[in-house]
Structure 1
Amino acid sequence: MSQATNTIPFSRPTTPTPPGLQIGFVGLGSMGYFMARNLAKGRPADAAPLLVYNRTASKAERLVQEVGAGSAKMAVSLEQLVNACDVVVTNLANDVVVELYYGEFAKALKAAPPTKPKIFVEASTVYPTVISTIHKVITSFPNCHLVGSPVFGRPPMADAAKLIVVLSGDYHSRKQIAHLLVPAMGRKAMDLGDDVTKAHTLKLIGNSMILGMMELVGEVFTLGQKSGVGQKPVLDLIKDLMPAPPLVKYAEIMASDSFDGSDGFSMDGGIKDANHMRRLANDLNAPAPMIDIAHQHMLTTRALHGAQKAAGMSKYDVVDWSALIAGSRAAAGLDPFDSGDYRVELEN
């Protein structure tokens, strides 16, 4: 069985990708920049240069400079990008921004209704009802489809094109998008079916797994430090008993006090996602106490970090969401961000 068959749950589309396919990408944040860059490099050979838009134009300029004008170009406006593109991928900060941008897309589509198929691919982490809302907006225009396509992976995985891409929505559209994004942007595609909200629902469930895992790791490291066993034996045990890459990565971040969120996932973003997870649990009457505890520790961590920043004592301007261990440490009477002699020095 070929690698493509293993990683993409769809056969190749019977209709070949039309020559000159124009793909657009909106949102060049810590994840979006790498996703767009890899898509620019890995797009179909006969596709046009990727058209990119970002509110801060310097990021789009940087991307074009990195990949070259033959692989990417800047859009001067959202209207230009929507009108020009056959496929529009969005990776934005939060629900409010997603709804705002799709409102702008709707204005462009109303002014110039498309005469050929146009697929919008929403890759942000948002609440599933947001997907329902923008799906109604987009599909109210002729020839327009929406595919829900959030991704799993930290920025380094986005950089290496190793993301897991989850897809739901119109069958033919998600089939085309799966082959467009994998392997250019990710290592695997998961198919969640025709209900466009299901991919983003799985995204919240998956993030709940990761957040619950981090909460548990933070608690056992705190126990290790308070007991005098230390963090290194606990980290070694995690690697031996539960060697899942995400678990090990976050455990290493915590044990080494490496909480810089500028190249990871910020605490504010983590709290936003945790609120979505708790809302999903509430809406479905499915209690998730581990997520509630993790959320409390994240709020504590944000407060502690904010106080340190105000006093000019913070090592980092932005902390990673894995810094939630600070909540456990503080509750145990320990320094929240510095494990001192118990800090684990990682090998490069």
Structure 2
Amino acid sequence: MSSDSSLPLAMGFVGLGAMGKPMATNLAKALPAGAHLYVHDIVAAAVDELHALFPTIVVECGSAREVAQNADVVLTMLPEGAHVKSVYLNPSTGIMAALNQTSTKLLIDSSTIDTATNLHIRSQLATHSPGTSFYDAPVSGGVLGAERATVAFFAGASPSDPTLPRLTCLLQPMGSKTIPCGGASLGLAAKLSNNYLSGLITIATSEAMDMGMRAGIRADVLASVFKAGTAQNTICDVFNPVPGVCAAAPSSHGYVGGFRVQLMRKDIGLAVALARHVGARNVLGAAGLGVYAAASEAEDCRDRDSRVVYRYLGGKEHWEGKEVAAE
């Protein structure tokens, strides 16, 4: 990936987890000559590894506050709302501690959290530093998408927002598309709606694959049937929960990597809460949440990719013709 001279010379990134680290890697690759990427994570090894890859670009910081003190634009990618709130609002180590009434930073949070926490952070920042801009821009595409820079960003901005072109430019090195969703926190509402659907599709795909395989159909043939028919979906085509169907999918590597099942439980829970808040009826929500909650506690599923629900549901992991080992 070539450098992009339209990117600022001082950018920051907080949160180098399964999604954040490949995103920050792609951003570092795209920065122009002389630019610096100020980074922080509570796991020092993740920061050290990124610095080792880009020793002249990546600058290690001891806190989110230090990142914001040095960078004009700061991106955050964190697991849960409590982490986001602390990173932004902690009075001694948070991003807001580096801001004042005249600051003009651009802050972009790509975490998947509840809309209430996002709006609270936005309100606190607006009062403390009215010149600072804060956007929610969660992503979809999983770890594979983050590594390949093909994730989609769902921006909490209207199509007419004057900052949108700048947002799109800043996010382009890390993803293939930025979709403005209408306004503050609506990027998150879009992401929760997406993950609700994706999580339920995973369960349905797992059940359908298991049913067809038990009837005697090879897993790869069944996946081809779904791809050619009305059941076609990205989970089946790219992240198939049956080991060996998609060579790059986490299921084909013991369900290691990918989007942890506990995080899918969190997101489905947030989506169910959002539905309740806005008065939407979702009859599958409780059942789906129950499956992910149980899988998150199962010893052979916990901490693995969310498509491990196939294993939790008793799906057949070894089948004739499989080319990729599950373990």
1:248 aligns with 2:233: no
Q: What CA distance in whole angstroms lies between the structure 1 residues aligned with 2:279 and 2:288?
A: 19
Q: What CA distance in whole angstroms lies between the structure 2 residues aligned with 1:327 and 1:271?
A: 14
Q: Name 1:322's counterpart in structure 2.
A: 307
* Structure 1 residues 253 and 137, CA gap change in structure 2 (3 angstroms): farther
* Structure 1 residues 40 and 114, CA gap change in structure 2 (3 angstroms): farther
Q: Given residue 305 of structure 2, which amino acid in structure 1 is its aligned partner? A: D
Q: Deviations over 1:217-256 (max 9, x none)?
A: 1111221233334534322211222554443123254565
Q: Any gaps of 5 or more consecutive residues in structure 1?
A: 1-15, 307-313, 330-335
Higher Cα Rg: structure 1 or 2? 1
**Residue 136 of structure 1: CA displacement?**
0.5
Aligned residue for 2:313, secondary structure, equals: helix
Q: Name 1:42's counterpart in structure 2.
A: 30
CA RMSD between the two structures: 2.7
Comparing 254-263 and 31-40, the one that deviates more: 254-263
Q: What CA distance in whole angstroms lies between the structure 2 residues aligned with 1:254 and 1:271?
A: 22
Q: Any gaps of 5 or more consecutive residues in structure 2?
A: 246-250
Report how many residues are paired. 311
Q: Name 1:310's counterpart in structure 2.
A: none
What is the TM-score of this pair, normalised by structure 2?
A: 0.85
Contact residue 148 and residue 168 of structure 1 kept, 8 A = yes
Aligned residue for 2:106, secondary structure, equals: strand
Q: Name 1:276's counterpart in structure 2.
A: 270
Which structure is higher in helix share? 1
* Structure 1 residues 262 and 232, CA gap change in structure 2 (3 angstroms): closer
**Residue 89 of structure 1: CA displacement?**
0.4
What is the TM-score of this pair, normalised by structure 1?
A: 0.80
**Residue 173 of structure 1: CA displacement?**
3.3
Q: Name 2:180's counterpart in structure 1.
A: 191
Q: Name 2:150's counterpart in structure 1.
A: 162
Aligned residue for 2:295, secondary structure, equals: helix
Contact residue 95 and residue 126 of structure 1 kept, 8 A = yes
* Structure 1 residues 239 and 26, CA gap change in structure 2 (3 angstroms): same
* Structure 1 residues 302 and 249, CA gap change in structure 2 (3 angstroms): same
- 1:59-70 alignment runs, 5 A limit: 59-66=46-53, 68-70=54-56
* Structure 1 residues 222 and 343, CA gap change in structure 2 (3 angstroms): farther
Q: Identity over the aligned pairs, expressed in percent?
A: 20
Contact residue 23 and residue 50 of structure 1 kept, 8 A = yes
Q: Given residue 35 of structure 2, which amino acid in structure 1 is its aligned partner? A: A
Contact residue 42 and residue 185 of structure 1 kept, 8 A = no
